Amino acid sequence: MVPLYSLEAYVALLSRVHEETDKILHFVREFYEAIVIVSFLQFVLVCAGGPRAIVMWDRMPEATGNDGDPDTPVRKKRVLKHLPPFNLCLPPWPSGRLMLRCCVSGTLLYVVIGILSAVGGFIVALMRTDPEAGSPFVVAGEVALSVAQGIAIMSLAELADQFLEELAPLKPFGKFLSVKAVVFLTFWQGLILKGLIKADFFESFLDPHNHWKNSEQIAGGVQNFLICIEMLMASIVHFRVFPPTDYLILEEQLGQQSS
């Protein structure tokens, strides 16, 4: 994820004189973001033991002491609570199946809207001749994508929160934050830059002699430059939160579940 983001941003920064190239690379990055979210969702499901294990979470028997044998571990029925503060006003999930369906659907909603938004924005950018043409569609896509991102974050957090105890050796909190920071913070960073464009912040930086002809181009350059720096920091963080030893821990946990 980090190498592709940084490479895309670096190439787009160098090709600032070709706006079509920048749009194509931006489309590739947004399309890849959808792949990243699906991959992280798959990682969460595998760590939880698979969809079948999640569905069975709420079907575990109540604690009985197993015929009074003190050497046998007591199994407790898992209560599928919502994340705070929603757990204060919403009852627990009635079943693991419903929770899994809602969390997966909420995450995949961002994937679908992200792909449609990327394709639609790419088509509008290539076809419009007036800079203001198609802007309502772009704004609508950004709003829809923002809402979908919020739902996706909550869905993944809701799912991951249910088995933090099982994933304690894998330190899932750092993994969750690092992936979300790369995917979602770059999007919000782009929205801030677009707000600065509307405020004519970049007008004083126009330099046609060096091919910086409009505010959108400068904002795109700033975005790509920031991504290059941020991906350097993200690569260091990912090296720490995704160590190779995690695969050994995961293999051991999956082996225990299968046995």
State pLDDT tens for residues 30-66: 777 778 888 888 888 877 777 877 777 655 544 444 4
Q: Which of 258, 225, 253, 198 is nearest to 11 (CA)?
A: 225
Predicted confidence (pLDDT) per residue in 20-32, tens digit: 666 677 677 777 7
Any domain includes 69 = no
Any domain includes 183 = yes
Question: How many percent of the chain have pLDDT more than 70?
Answer: 80
Any domain includes 145 = yes
pLDDT at 75: 47
Predicted confidence (pLDDT) per residue in 142-163, tens digit: 788 888 888 888 888 888 787 7
Any domain includes 87 = yes
pLDDT at 77: 60
Any domain includes 72 = no
Any domain includes 65 = no
pLDDT at 105: 93
pLDDT band at 201 (very low <50, low <70, confident <90, very high): very high
Domain enclosing residue 46, as ranges: 2-60+77-252
Q: Which residue has the higher pLDDT, 137 or 108?
A: 108
pLDDT band at 248 (very low <50, low <70, confident <90, very high): confident
116 pLDDT above the threshold of 80: yes
Q: Which residue has the higher pLDDT, 190 or 137?
A: 190
Q: What mean pLDDT, rounded, does the chain reach?
A: 77
- The number of distinct structural domains making up the chain is 1
CA–CA distance, 204 with 196 (Å, rounded to integer): 12
Any domain includes 12 = yes
pLDDT at 33: 77
Predicted confidence (pLDDT) per residue in 60-103, tens digit: 544 444 445 555 444 456 678 888 888 888 888 888 888 889 99
Any domain includes 108 = yes
pLDDT at 224: 85
